[in-house]
Structure 1
Amino acid sequence: MNNKISYLLNTVRCVHRYSSVLTHKSSATTRKHILWIGRYRDPLGNVNFRKLLLSILPSLRGSSLRFVSQKADVYSTGAEALVSEKASQSSLEVGKLDDSGSLKAKADHSDPFFTSLRKCSCPCDALDLAAEAAVSIKHYTNSLTMAWRLFKNLSEEQQRYEKQLIFEHPAFVKLCQQLLRDARRMMRRDLVFSLHALVSLGVPQNTLLVQTLVRVCQEKLNQLDNRCISVLATTLAGMDKDKNVGALQAGLQLLVEQRISSIRDIFILQNLMKCLGKDAPVFLKKKLEMAVVREIDGLTFLNALRMFLVLAAMNYCSLPILNPCSKKIQENVHDVPFRQLILILEACHTLQYRNVKLFSALADYVNSTAYLWDKRQIMLFLSACETLGFQPTELLDIFAEKVTEDPDFLNLKNLLIVLRVYSRLNHVPRVQKHLFFETLHSCLNKCLPQISNTELLKAVYSFSILGYLPHRALDELLQKDSKDELIQPDDLKEQNTVMLRCVKTCMELDSPCFTKPAFVLTENLSSLVSLNLRKAQEALIELLGDENMFRQNVRLPYNYHIDFEIRMDSDRKKVLPIVATDDHPDSRVQRLAFLFAPVSAFCLGTTHPQGRLATKKRHLKKLGYHVILIQNKKFQEMKNEDAIEFLKRKIYSEDTFSFPEATVQDNN
């Protein structure tokens, strides 16, 4: 073994030879300078070093040693990163997790070792200190914990180089040997903290050291306090499933179920919720939910931010938790980092949580501080809103102005995102709308040489939804269609077919030369209506007195259909029988088309139709119909007499016959 250690020391000397003044107490500045000399070399990729590590940390019999980094720091981004930034860098306390999920070691003010440990500025400083002054397992575990804390605060590129020094440091090998010998004699907190730090630093999971610590955790599981359970849950969440890890996770889940009533710390509850994840049984999720609700009065702003990610990781939408969290965030919206805004919206999408007040508060904040953000940041925020079906009108207008003023950032990827956002949300800027779409059109033309078939179809489709026809791109699209290059691959065949059909319809109906036909050929699909339209059918019969006064399930040209059709005289005072107007067509007859659409077809919290529904409405008007859009869910919630009165107002109101269009017509 001594020969092997000597070999490792020789390996380390290759780093030390760059400076004769580099000692165990070398400064972080000197070490960081050395880190950038030469090409990076992964220590786990070195054959000789692998053999040495393998002999010091032998793998389990029958399992291969995998030299891969196990990313156990499951709270390295988002709200957790925000909390980590605000955590005290000098305060260490055993048994506590900082809000990034990493460990804090207990400071013994009577021991100069811990005073020196707090002054360390990089991971190898902590290992140097361990090599010089460590006299007990607690010294070793605190050094390891400090090394991990300092390591996680480095940039990704710095981490790669620092990991090389950590794994080649003689104190690290000695520390691993000490942990292996003393595993069963370690204090419970030293045990779980050491396991967390080793796994997070990338020590292979199948080494004897890691597996031994996992098995000892199994043996001492019932002795762990709530904080240790939280640490252990974090660690296991970053490990691959094997027999030992699976057994420990199962035991941990049972222990959490027993301990929930005694846990009062919201952070620990959040940590357990996130680590148990979506695979936790529903009854356990409900117990964790109730435990958080009991402590909801103590909810902090940072707790509220983190809760969205926690519930998303558990895939559990809890209104009793999310509503107070939303209120807390609205009250402190100006303290939310931009990246966190995106994470909140993404979590809401995952949870299918629709809180218009929360989304409006976030959008108003971004709108009021738009001058601070890069256009790409605002674009990402708008994309997250689009996924939720939420339309931040003012921000969309501001962003359109920014794009018009400086379109250089619009590469193909960004262009497709912008087109998707504006087309789905059916938003046309109030100012310089033609200039905005001409700018996007120009950017698309520049991208045509390298655009794929699917991307071309998506871009033209988005333009078409908004009523704008990009001629050059359309010509190329039709050429590809004639060669059957668009309807592939198979997994996108149906989606591409629908988009292509819509594009062709828009080409004809939105063309400036298209004129309203004097007569539109219609066809009844069926005399029966679906169950969700039965209430509307009965209300119309009650209101108009006869089924002959309206038609239902009407098929129109261009693959369109409407739920109900009513015909009125030119003065809009009287409803006419359907048969009479069929026998004697009259261009002065007013045609009403009722569309009962799901809530998802409208922008969140409004009656503003999204792209597909808005396009259908626009095209029906081209065919001579006055379109009445109704949110079917709200209609179904009405009492019968209210539903009848509602339809009466829609039919006889003059407002029914004037709809401002939020579209751009191609006037070129």
Structure 2
Amino acid sequence: MGKSRNVDALQAGLQLLVEQRIPKISNIFMLQSMMKCFGKDAPLSLKRKIEDRVLRELDHLTPLNAQNMFSALAAMNHCSILLLDASTNKIIESIHGFSFWQLIHVLKSCSILRYRNVALCSAIANYVTSHIYMWDTNQLVLLLSAFGGLRFRPVELMDILAEKVTSHPESLNLKYILGVLRVYSLLNHVPKCQNQEFLESLNGALNNYLTRISNVGLLKAVYSFCVLDYLPQPALSQLLQEDNLNELLKSDGLNKEQNEMMVHSVNVCLELDSPSFTKPATVFIKKPSSPLVSDLPEVQMALLKLLGDERMFQQNIQLPHDYNIDFEIKMDADRKKVLPVTEVDDPADAPDVQRVAVLCASPSAFCFGTRHPQGKLAMKMRHLKKLGYHVILVHYQEFKNLKKEEAIECLKGEIYSADAFPVSDVNLQDTI
């Protein structure tokens, strides 16, 4: 019904009636139906009253109730950790009884509610992996897309899907090709044994759709490939045609900003990952954004204690290609001695100087539950390395929780380490 005084009065009357009857309702399914009916526009007071009533009936929670609880809370846009945790435990106990679409709905509801539970995601991923024969390729893509919405990286499942795609790329239509590219680039996942074959198979599958793909879809595909350090030549050549670029960069609103960001990243990848590639003169060059001024007192203090003088490092460095560094340190070639920044003005004139970039990343820059950097951060690390930096990646939230002595020792071990780690092998031991 449309908004009017009569409708508002009717809704208010129904709300009062429901609030009076809630204490007498013990059926969880009925309570969940009410949650879906009232939806996200329900007053917070009503949401909490329904939540409290359901909490009293948790002893009667069934697996089906548990699955419905995610959908009901998502419909009401009410993140009740107590209800979600109880429902999670029930789902994990009965994981073998859930269908494909029930699992999808649970994961999508988690995304809506911003509820991230490692145990739940791992249980679903392990169940699907152990029963891989039950799922076709398209179902796996949908599941991984749902995991991508939570920034959760199920390594074994992604490796299995990569094998399927490599063996039978023709099984994917354009929608699923774009879905695979998006998830693997977002989560920065490449199969250990057949990375090149996997990307070449996706490239070959995409080539079959180049006459039918939209320019936006083409840009998203090329951008995802570039994040994964792969240049899809036919798709890239089509993207860089002047008419296609002009159409992408003339769109309005948020789409224009997103398109500019992706085209800029593609351009940077061409310059740094494949400098021999000949670009058309019309390729879009993004204007440098305003320098980011980051306030990272814990890291700054640890560096000051470790290096002894604030002249031994610089903060908030803006680089070409619109990259920025939180802290920069200059060292001798063997990375045994830190040099005052005033002694080396231009690293290009000092080949024996090793530049060290300290990047502080928030938890949202990592895959959920790990220290594995997501695609954009991994691409930045790769490019900084090609610009001559040794990269130190700091998980800032965890760093802040360290004692001062522990923080200093962590930075000391990273700064004076003899061997730099390869970006493609980043894992739990790769970041502070």
The answer to whether TM tops 0.5 is yes
In the alignment, the residues of structure 1 paired with residue 162 and residue 139 of structure 2 have an alpha-carbon distance, to the nearest angstrom, of 14
Q: Does 1:574 align with 2:340?
A: no
In the alignment, the residues of structure 1 paired with residue 8 and residue 174 of structure 2 have an alpha-carbon distance, to the nearest angstrom, of 45
Determine the structure 2 residue equivalent to 1:415: 177
Deviations, residues 205-244 of structure 1 (Å, cap 9, x unaligned): xxxxxxxxxxxxxxxxxxxxxxxxxxxxxxxxxx777777
Determine the structure 1 residue equivalent to 2:54: 292
Determine the structure 2 residue equivalent to 1:470: 232
In the alignment, the residues of structure 2 paired with residue 392 and residue 240 of structure 1 have an alpha-carbon distance, to the nearest angstrom, of 45
In the alignment, the residues of structure 2 paired with residue 660 and residue 248 of structure 1 have an alpha-carbon distance, to the nearest angstrom, of 60
Determine the structure 2 residue equivalent to 1:547: 310
Secondary structure in 2 aligned to 1:439? Answer: helix
Aligned with 2:266 (options 503, 506, 517) = 503
Contact 2:177 2:205 in 1 (8 A): yes
In the alignment, the residues of structure 2 paired with residue 636 and residue 404 of structure 1 have an alpha-carbon distance, to the nearest angstrom, of 42
Determine the structure 1 residue equivalent to 2:322: 559
Aligned with 1:433 (options 195, 202, 220) = 195
Determine the structure 2 residue equivalent to 1:595: 359
Q: Which amino acid counterpart does residue 29 of structure 2 have in structure 1? A: F
Contact 1:257 1:284 in 2 (8 A): yes
Go from structure 1 to structure 2 and tell me whether the alpha carbon gap of 1:544 and 1:409 turns closer, same or farther (over 3 Å shift): same
- TM-superposed CA distance for 1:247, in Å, is 4.4
In the alignment, the residues of structure 1 paired with residue 205 and residue 144 of structure 2 have an alpha-carbon distance, to the nearest angstrom, of 19
Q: Which amino acid counterpart does residue 270 of structure 1 have in structure 2? A: Q
In the alignment, the residues of structure 2 paired with residue 483 and residue 558 of structure 1 have an alpha-carbon distance, to the nearest angstrom, of 19
- TM-superposed CA distance for 1:573, in Å, is 2.3
Contact 1:426 1:662 in 2 (8 A): no
Aligned with 1:480 (options 232, 242, 255) = 242
Determine the structure 2 residue equivalent to 1:251: 13
Go from structure 1 to structure 2 and tell me whether the alpha carbon gap of 1:605 and 1:437 turns closer, same or farther (over 3 Å shift): same
Deviations, residues 329-366 of structure 1 (Å, cap 9, x unaligned): 11111111110111000000000001011001101111
Secondary structure in 1 aligned to 2:84? Answer: helix
Contact 2:392 2:414 in 1 (8 A): yes
TM-score, reference length from structure 2: 0.90
Aligned with 2:118 (options 352, 356, 377) = 356
In the alignment, the residues of structure 2 paired with residue 394 and residue 387 of structure 1 have an alpha-carbon distance, to the nearest angstrom, of 18
Q: Which amino acid counterpart does residue 577 of structure 1 have in structure 2? A: P
Determine the structure 1 residue equivalent to 2:97: 335
In the alignment, the residues of structure 1 paired with residue 346 and residue 183 of structure 2 have an alpha-carbon distance, to the nearest angstrom, of 45
Secondary structure in 2 aligned to 1:447? Answer: coil
Determine the structure 1 residue equivalent to 2:281: none
In the alignment, the residues of structure 2 paired with residue 282 and residue 328 of structure 1 have an alpha-carbon distance, to the nearest angstrom, of 26
In the alignment, the residues of structure 2 paired with residue 339 and residue 260 of structure 1 have an alpha-carbon distance, to the nearest angstrom, of 30
Go from structure 1 to structure 2 and tell me whether the alpha carbon gap of 1:662 and 1:471 turns closer, same or farther (over 3 Å shift): farther
Determine the structure 1 residue equivalent to 2:395: 631
Deviations, residues 77-118 of structure 1 (Å, cap 9, x unaligned): xxxxxxxxxxxxxxxxxxxxxxxxxxxxxxxxxxxxxxxxxx
In the alignment, the residues of structure 1 paired with residue 156 and residue 6 of structure 2 have an alpha-carbon distance, to the nearest angstrom, of 54
Secondary structure in 2 aligned to 1:363? Answer: helix
- TM-superposed CA distance for 1:481, in Å, is 5.8
- TM-superposed CA distance for 1:543, in Å, is 1.8
Determine the structure 1 residue equivalent to 2:377: 613
* Higher RCO (CA-CA < 8 Å; seq separation 6+): 2
Contact 2:381 2:423 in 1 (8 A): no
Contact 1:554 1:562 in 2 (8 A): yes
TM-score, reference length from structure 1: 0.59
Go from structure 1 to structure 2 and tell me whether the alpha carbon gap of 1:659 and 1:483 turns closer, same or farther (over 3 Å shift): closer
Contact 1:465 1:615 in 2 (8 A): yes
Contact 2:382 2:423 in 1 (8 A): no
Matches within 5 A, 1:518-529: 529=293
Q: Does 1:376 align with 2:138?
A: yes
- Any gaps of 5 or more consecutive residues in structure 2? 278-287, 427-432
Matches within 5 A, 1:16-415: 247-415=9-177
Go from structure 1 to structure 2 and tell me whether the alpha carbon gap of 1:409 and 1:241 turns closer, same or farther (over 3 Å shift): farther
In the alignment, the residues of structure 2 paired with residue 331 and residue 404 of structure 1 have an alpha-carbon distance, to the nearest angstrom, of 34
Q: Which amino acid counterpart does residue 564 of structure 1 have in structure 2? A: F
In the alignment, the residues of structure 1 paired with residue 94 and residue 154 of structure 2 have an alpha-carbon distance, to the nearest angstrom, of 20
In the alignment, the residues of structure 2 paired with residue 364 and residue 274 of structure 1 have an alpha-carbon distance, to the nearest angstrom, of 30
Q: Which amino acid counterpart does residue 317 of structure 1 have in structure 2? A: C
Secondary structure in 2 aligned to 1:306? Answer: helix
Secondary structure in 1 aligned to 2:327? Answer: strand
In the alignment, the residues of structure 2 paired with residue 614 and residue 382 of structure 1 have an alpha-carbon distance, to the nearest angstrom, of 20
Go from structure 1 to structure 2 and tell me whether the alpha carbon gap of 1:654 and 1:257 turns closer, same or farther (over 3 Å shift): farther
Q: Which amino acid counterpart does residue 334 of structure 2 have in structure 1? A: D
In the alignment, the residues of structure 2 paired with residue 298 and residue 490 of structure 1 have an alpha-carbon distance, to the nearest angstrom, of 52
Contact 1:378 1:399 in 2 (8 A): yes
Greater alpha carbon shift after TM alignment, 473-482 vs 344-353? 473-482
Q: Which amino acid counterpart does residue 556 of structure 1 have in structure 2? A: L
Contact 1:253 1:276 in 2 (8 A): no
Deviations, residues 303-326 of structure 1 (Å, cap 9, x unaligned): 111100010011011111111111
Aligned with 2:412 (options 648, 658, 664) = 648
Determine the structure 1 residue equivalent to 2:280: none
Deviations, residues 226-266 of structure 1 (Å, cap 9, x unaligned): xxxxxxxxxxxxx7777776544322211222233333322
Secondary structure in 1 aligned to 2:390? Answer: strand
Go from structure 1 to structure 2 and tell me whether the alpha carbon gap of 1:456 and 1:482 turns closer, same or farther (over 3 Å shift): closer
Go from structure 1 to structure 2 and tell me whether the alpha carbon gap of 1:662 and 1:255 turns closer, same or farther (over 3 Å shift): same
- TM-superposed CA distance for 1:498, in Å, is 0.9
- TM-superposed CA distance for 1:555, in Å, is 1.4
In the alignment, the residues of structure 2 paired with residue 240 and residue 328 of structure 1 have an alpha-carbon distance, to the nearest angstrom, of 40
Determine the structure 1 residue equivalent to 2:284: none
In the alignment, the residues of structure 2 paired with residue 426 and residue 483 of structure 1 have an alpha-carbon distance, to the nearest angstrom, of 26
In the alignment, the residues of structure 1 paired with residue 106 and residue 294 of structure 2 have an alpha-carbon distance, to the nearest angstrom, of 38
Go from structure 1 to structure 2 and tell me whether the alpha carbon gap of 1:508 and 1:435 turns closer, same or farther (over 3 Å shift): same
Total equivalences in the alignment: 413
- Any gaps of 5 or more consecutive residues in structure 1? 1-238, 515-522, 664-668
Go from structure 1 to structure 2 and tell me whether the alpha carbon gap of 1:569 and 1:423 turns closer, same or farther (over 3 Å shift): same
In the alignment, the residues of structure 1 paired with residue 14 and residue 250 of structure 2 have an alpha-carbon distance, to the nearest angstrom, of 48
- TM-superposed CA distance for 1:627, in Å, is 0.9
Contact 1:427 1:662 in 2 (8 A): no
Q: Which amino acid counterpart does residue 376 of structure 2 have in structure 1? A: R
Deviations, residues 180-199 of structure 1 (Å, cap 9, x unaligned): xxxxxxxxxxxxxxxxxxxx
Contact 2:326 2:360 in 1 (8 A): yes
Q: Which amino acid counterpart does residue 31 of structure 2 have in structure 1? A: L
In the alignment, the residues of structure 2 paired with residue 385 and residue 419 of structure 1 have an alpha-carbon distance, to the nearest angstrom, of 14
